[in-house]
Structure 1
Amino acid sequence: RGAIARALLRDAPVLLLDEATSALDAESEAHVQEALDRLASERTTLVIAHRLSTIRKADKIVVMDKGCVVDEGRHDELLSRGGLYARLYELQFNED
């Protein structure tokens, strides 16, 4: 989390977030995600995530499986296609 703060203080034009909220509980993740959403809106942001809740608002989501791109699009588009993203989303949010 310190690296995120440093990048924002430097006003970095590009943010690379690699599992930035993976170690957080759900409540903390929601607070951090809200702050990141506000700050990322003014920057190019590349997010690597297994928790799909962190990328729902992304302009473009690239779905990878075994090192290959298998789909891309916005959250709603990917859900409607019923592919890997939709299956993973269903698994993650039915467990909660």
Structure 2
Amino acid sequence: MQVLVAIVSEGIRDDLIDALIELPEISGFNLQAIDGYSREHSQYDLREQVAGYRRLCRVEVMHAEEHQAALLARLNTVSAASPIRYWITPLLGCGHLTGA
């Protein structure tokens, strides 16, 4: 197993959710709002330049290695409107804790 982490603009959040929900190779994902900081402010709008950061979304998808190509292809379908930065790391362990 491995974990894909992707950082996307808020503008394509809904398209990203739709694309991932339709993907049969994954059972679910996590999504959270984050503040992205960068030395390159040329892409920032005026509010972002004043604040010093850009509101972004971070998505985490646990998946089998053989589903990586399908997952990246699906992400690529929504990246035309805004680039998506991603990385994939191996998952060393996972499970459910039930307190038992």
Question: TM-score normalized by structure 1?
Answer: 0.29
Please say which structure displays the higher CA radius of gyration.
2
- The structure with higher relative contact order (CA 8 Å, sep 6+) is 2
After TM superposition, the score normalised by the length of structure 2 is 0.28
Which structure shows the bigger proportion of residues in strand conformation?
Answer: 2
